[in-house]
Amino acid sequence: MLETPYAPSSSFLANTEPSIKIRNLNFHYGEGDLFKQVLFDINLDVYPGQIVILTGPSGSGKTTLLTLIGALRTIQDGSLQVLGQELRNLHPKKLVQIRKNIGFIFQAHNLFHSLTARQNVMMSTDLFQHEGGNAVASNKAAEILTALGLGQRIDYKPHELSGGQKQRVAIARALVNRPKLILADEPTAALDKKSGRDVVTLMQKMAKEENITILMVTHDNRILDVADRIVNLVDGNLESDNVVNDTMLGGVNGESRTFML
Protein backbone atom coordinates (compact mmCIF):
# COMPACT_ATOMS: atom_id res chain seq x y z
CA MET A 1 0.00 0.00 0.00
CA LEU A 2 1.33 3.43 -0.99
CA GLU A 3 1.42 5.91 1.89
CA THR A 4 3.31 8.76 0.19
CA PRO A 5 1.52 10.45 -2.72
CA TYR A 6 3.17 11.23 -6.04
CA ALA A 7 5.16 14.47 -6.04
CA PRO A 8 6.41 16.19 -9.21
CA SER A 9 10.08 16.94 -9.66
CA SER A 10 11.38 20.48 -9.15
CA SER A 11 11.33 21.04 -12.91
CA PHE A 12 7.65 20.22 -13.37
CA LEU A 13 4.69 21.60 -11.44
CA ALA A 14 6.90 22.19 -8.41
CA ASN A 15 5.06 25.36 -7.40
CA THR A 16 1.60 24.22 -8.52
CA GLU A 17 -1.17 23.17 -6.16
CA PRO A 18 -2.78 19.80 -6.99
CA SER A 19 -6.23 19.84 -8.52
CA ILE A 20 -6.97 16.82 -6.31
CA LYS A 21 -5.30 16.38 -2.93
CA ILE A 22 -6.31 13.39 -0.79
CA ARG A 23 -4.95 12.54 2.64
CA ASN A 24 -5.83 9.49 4.76
CA LEU A 25 -9.24 9.11 3.13
CA ASN A 26 -11.46 6.29 4.41
CA PHE A 27 -15.00 5.43 3.38
CA HIS A 28 -17.56 2.81 4.34
CA TYR A 29 -21.10 1.79 3.56
CA GLY A 30 -23.68 0.74 6.14
CA GLU A 31 -23.56 0.51 9.91
CA GLY A 32 -23.47 -2.27 12.50
CA ASP A 33 -23.75 -5.72 10.91
CA LEU A 34 -23.96 -4.07 7.49
CA PHE A 35 -20.73 -2.07 7.91
CA LYS A 36 -18.36 -2.49 4.98
CA GLN A 37 -15.26 -0.35 4.53
CA VAL A 38 -14.39 0.18 0.87
CA LEU A 39 -11.52 2.73 0.97
CA PHE A 40 -8.53 2.56 3.30
CA ASP A 41 -6.17 5.50 3.98
CA ILE A 42 -6.05 6.81 0.41
CA ASN A 43 -3.32 9.38 -0.30
CA LEU A 44 -3.26 10.82 -3.80
CA ASP A 45 -2.30 14.04 -5.59
CA VAL A 46 -3.30 14.86 -9.17
CA TYR A 47 -1.98 18.01 -10.85
CA PRO A 48 -3.39 20.38 -13.50
CA GLY A 49 -2.90 19.07 -17.03
CA GLN A 50 -2.38 15.48 -15.95
CA ILE A 51 -4.34 12.48 -17.17
CA VAL A 52 -4.44 9.85 -14.45
CA ILE A 53 -6.00 6.47 -15.17
CA LEU A 54 -7.40 4.56 -12.20
CA THR A 55 -7.35 0.78 -12.64
CA GLY A 56 -8.10 -2.22 -10.47
CA PRO A 57 -10.48 -5.17 -10.13
CA SER A 58 -14.23 -4.68 -10.02
CA GLY A 59 -15.38 -3.83 -6.52
CA SER A 60 -12.07 -2.29 -5.50
CA GLY A 61 -13.59 1.15 -4.75
CA LYS A 62 -12.75 3.03 -7.94
CA THR A 63 -16.22 4.43 -8.62
CA THR A 64 -16.71 5.27 -4.94
CA LEU A 65 -13.47 7.27 -4.98
CA LEU A 66 -14.55 9.06 -8.16
CA THR A 67 -17.90 10.08 -6.65
CA LEU A 68 -16.22 11.34 -3.48
CA ILE A 69 -13.87 13.51 -5.55
CA GLY A 70 -16.87 14.77 -7.52
CA ALA A 71 -18.61 15.90 -4.30
CA LEU A 72 -21.40 13.41 -4.89
CA ARG A 73 -20.85 11.62 -1.56
CA THR A 74 -20.14 12.92 1.94
CA ILE A 75 -16.55 12.75 3.20
CA GLN A 76 -16.55 10.60 6.34
CA ASP A 77 -12.91 10.48 7.41
CA GLY A 78 -9.74 12.13 6.13
CA SER A 79 -9.15 15.13 3.89
CA LEU A 80 -10.16 15.62 0.25
CA GLN A 81 -9.37 18.90 -1.50
CA VAL A 82 -10.69 19.56 -5.01
CA LEU A 83 -9.65 22.63 -6.98
CA GLY A 84 -8.22 24.15 -3.81
CA GLN A 85 -11.34 23.58 -1.69
CA GLU A 86 -11.62 21.15 1.23
CA LEU A 87 -14.80 19.11 0.68
CA ARG A 88 -15.19 17.70 4.17
CA ASN A 89 -17.93 19.59 6.05
CA LEU A 90 -18.31 22.03 3.16
CA HIS A 91 -21.65 23.86 2.96
CA PRO A 92 -23.99 22.30 0.35
CA LYS A 93 -24.16 25.55 -1.65
CA LYS A 94 -20.38 25.57 -1.99
CA LEU A 95 -20.42 21.91 -3.03
CA VAL A 96 -22.72 22.92 -5.88
CA GLN A 97 -20.19 25.56 -6.97
CA ILE A 98 -17.41 22.97 -6.96
CA ARG A 99 -19.47 20.62 -9.14
CA LYS A 100 -19.91 23.37 -11.73
CA ASN A 101 -16.17 23.15 -12.44
CA ILE A 102 -16.27 19.38 -12.88
CA GLY A 103 -17.25 17.43 -15.99
CA PHE A 104 -18.79 14.06 -15.14
CA ILE A 105 -18.81 11.09 -17.51
CA PHE A 106 -20.60 8.03 -16.11
CA GLN A 107 -21.57 4.74 -17.71
CA ALA A 108 -25.27 5.68 -17.61
CA HIS A 109 -25.95 8.15 -20.42
CA ASN A 110 -28.69 10.09 -18.55
CA LEU A 111 -29.80 11.84 -21.73
CA PHE A 112 -33.12 13.65 -22.05
CA HIS A 113 -35.15 11.52 -24.48
CA SER A 114 -37.19 14.45 -25.80
CA LEU A 115 -34.10 16.50 -26.73
CA THR A 116 -31.72 16.19 -29.66
CA ALA A 117 -28.04 15.44 -29.24
CA ARG A 118 -27.28 19.14 -29.64
CA GLN A 119 -29.91 20.15 -27.08
CA ASN A 120 -28.67 17.56 -24.58
CA VAL A 121 -25.17 19.02 -24.79
CA MET A 122 -26.58 22.54 -24.48
CA MET A 123 -28.09 21.52 -21.13
CA SER A 124 -24.67 22.30 -19.64
CA THR A 125 -26.08 25.64 -18.59
CA ASP A 126 -22.79 27.47 -18.05
CA LEU A 127 -22.73 28.09 -21.79
CA PHE A 128 -25.76 30.35 -21.50
CA GLN A 129 -23.68 32.79 -19.44
CA HIS A 130 -21.60 33.64 -22.49
CA GLU A 131 -22.36 36.54 -24.77
CA GLY A 132 -24.68 35.31 -27.49
CA GLY A 133 -26.63 32.94 -25.25
CA ASN A 134 -28.37 30.16 -27.17
CA ALA A 135 -26.46 30.80 -30.40
CA VAL A 136 -23.08 30.40 -28.71
CA ALA A 137 -24.26 27.32 -26.84
CA SER A 138 -25.63 25.76 -30.01
CA ASN A 139 -22.41 26.37 -31.96
CA LYS A 140 -20.21 25.00 -29.18
CA ALA A 141 -22.40 21.91 -28.85
CA ALA A 142 -22.24 21.29 -32.59
CA GLU A 143 -18.47 21.79 -32.59
CA ILE A 144 -17.73 19.23 -29.88
CA LEU A 145 -20.25 16.70 -31.23
CA THR A 146 -18.54 16.95 -34.61
CA ALA A 147 -15.13 16.44 -33.00
CA LEU A 148 -16.49 13.22 -31.49
CA GLY A 149 -17.71 11.94 -34.85
CA LEU A 150 -21.38 12.88 -34.49
CA GLY A 151 -21.51 15.66 -37.06
CA GLN A 152 -24.26 13.84 -38.97
CA ARG A 153 -26.26 13.06 -35.81
CA ILE A 154 -26.41 16.47 -34.15
CA ASP A 155 -30.18 16.80 -34.46
CA TYR A 156 -31.03 13.16 -33.72
CA LYS A 157 -32.85 12.21 -30.53
CA PRO A 158 -31.53 9.45 -28.23
CA HIS A 159 -33.93 6.77 -29.58
CA GLU A 160 -32.38 7.34 -33.02
CA LEU A 161 -28.82 6.79 -31.74
CA SER A 162 -26.85 3.64 -30.98
CA GLY A 163 -25.49 2.95 -27.50
CA GLY A 164 -22.05 4.16 -28.50
CA GLN A 165 -23.45 7.33 -30.04
CA LYS A 166 -25.43 8.07 -26.87
CA GLN A 167 -22.24 7.65 -24.88
CA ARG A 168 -20.45 10.17 -27.09
CA VAL A 169 -23.29 12.67 -26.58
CA ALA A 170 -22.87 12.24 -22.82
CA ILE A 171 -19.13 12.76 -23.19
CA ALA A 172 -19.67 15.89 -25.29
CA ARG A 173 -22.00 17.27 -22.60
CA ALA A 174 -19.28 16.76 -19.97
CA LEU A 175 -16.54 18.36 -22.05
CA VAL A 176 -18.30 21.27 -23.73
CA ASN A 177 -17.80 23.74 -20.87
CA ARG A 178 -14.07 23.03 -20.67
CA PRO A 179 -14.30 22.18 -16.94
CA LYS A 180 -11.20 22.43 -14.77
CA LEU A 181 -11.58 18.77 -13.77
CA ILE A 182 -13.00 15.80 -15.69
CA LEU A 183 -14.05 12.64 -13.84
CA ALA A 184 -14.74 9.74 -16.20
CA ASP A 185 -16.01 6.26 -15.32
CA GLU A 186 -15.39 3.81 -18.18
CA PRO A 187 -15.90 6.50 -20.85
CA THR A 188 -14.93 4.21 -23.76
CA ALA A 189 -16.60 0.98 -22.59
CA ALA A 190 -19.45 1.22 -25.13
CA LEU A 191 -17.29 2.55 -27.97
CA ASP A 192 -15.53 0.86 -30.86
CA LYS A 193 -11.79 1.30 -31.36
CA LYS A 194 -12.02 4.43 -33.56
CA SER A 195 -14.67 6.18 -31.47
CA GLY A 196 -12.78 5.41 -28.26
CA ARG A 197 -9.60 6.80 -29.75
CA ASP A 198 -11.40 9.98 -30.88
CA VAL A 199 -12.68 10.52 -27.33
CA VAL A 200 -9.36 10.08 -25.53
CA THR A 201 -7.46 12.08 -28.16
CA LEU A 202 -9.81 15.02 -27.57
CA MET A 203 -9.44 14.66 -23.80
CA GLN A 204 -5.66 14.51 -24.12
CA LYS A 205 -5.69 17.66 -26.26
CA MET A 206 -7.80 19.50 -23.68
CA ALA A 207 -5.56 18.40 -20.82
CA LYS A 208 -2.38 19.61 -22.49
CA GLU A 209 -3.65 22.78 -24.16
CA GLU A 210 -6.08 23.98 -21.48
CA ASN A 211 -4.45 22.54 -18.36
CA ILE A 212 -7.52 20.45 -17.55
CA THR A 213 -7.10 17.65 -15.01
CA ILE A 214 -8.54 14.26 -15.98
CA LEU A 215 -9.09 11.29 -13.67
CA MET A 216 -10.40 8.29 -15.55
CA VAL A 217 -11.53 4.84 -14.39
CA THR A 218 -11.11 2.27 -17.15
CA HIS A 219 -10.51 -1.38 -17.94
CA ASP A 220 -9.88 -0.47 -21.60
CA ASN A 221 -6.25 -1.39 -22.33
CA ARG A 222 -6.51 0.31 -25.73
CA ILE A 223 -6.34 3.79 -24.18
CA LEU A 224 -3.69 3.40 -21.47
CA ASP A 225 -1.17 5.20 -23.68
CA VAL A 226 -2.84 8.59 -23.08
CA ALA A 227 -2.13 8.45 -19.34
CA ASP A 228 0.56 10.45 -17.59
CA ARG A 229 0.14 8.17 -14.58
CA ILE A 230 -1.62 4.89 -13.88
CA VAL A 231 -2.90 4.35 -10.34
CA ASN A 232 -3.93 0.87 -9.20
CA LEU A 233 -6.60 0.41 -6.52
CA VAL A 234 -7.06 -3.08 -5.04
CA ASP A 235 -9.55 -3.93 -2.28
CA GLY A 236 -9.81 -0.28 -1.32
CA ASN A 237 -6.05 0.19 -1.02
CA LEU A 238 -3.86 2.29 -3.31
CA GLU A 239 -1.31 -0.31 -4.42
CA SER A 240 0.75 1.59 -7.01
CA ASP A 241 1.16 4.96 -8.70
CA ASN A 242 3.16 4.57 -11.90
CA VAL A 243 4.52 7.31 -14.12
CA VAL A 244 4.04 6.58 -17.82
CA ASN A 245 5.99 9.51 -19.27
CA ASP A 246 8.94 9.86 -16.92
CA THR A 247 10.67 12.46 -19.09
CA MET A 248 7.69 14.79 -18.85
CA LEU A 249 6.73 14.26 -15.25
CA GLY A 250 10.11 13.81 -13.60
CA GLY A 251 10.05 11.16 -10.89
CA VAL A 252 8.03 10.04 -7.94
CA ASN A 253 9.72 11.42 -4.84
CA GLY A 254 12.94 11.67 -6.81
CA GLU A 255 12.83 8.14 -8.21
CA SER A 256 11.91 7.06 -11.70
CA ARG A 257 8.88 4.75 -11.90
CA THR A 258 7.60 3.80 -15.32
CA PHE A 259 4.51 1.76 -16.16
CA MET A 260 5.23 -0.71 -18.92
CA LEU A 261 2.43 -0.75 -21.51
Residue range 117-129, pLDDT digits in tens: 999 999 875 545 5
Q: End-to-end alpha-carbon separation of the chain, Å?
A: 22
pTM: 0.86
pLDDT tens digits, 180-211: 999 999 999 888 999 899 999 999 999 999 99
Buried b (16+ CB within 10 A) or exposed e, 200-229: bebbbebbeeeebbbbbbbebeebeebbbb
User: Tens digit of pLDDT for each residue in 50-98?
Assistant: 999 999 999 999 999 999 999 999 999 999 999 999 999 999 999 999 9
Mean pLDDT of the chain: 86
Q: What are the CA-CA distances from residue 122 to residues 54, 86, 171, 226 (Å)?
A: 29, 30, 12, 28
Residue 62 to residue 67: CA distance in whole angstroms? 9
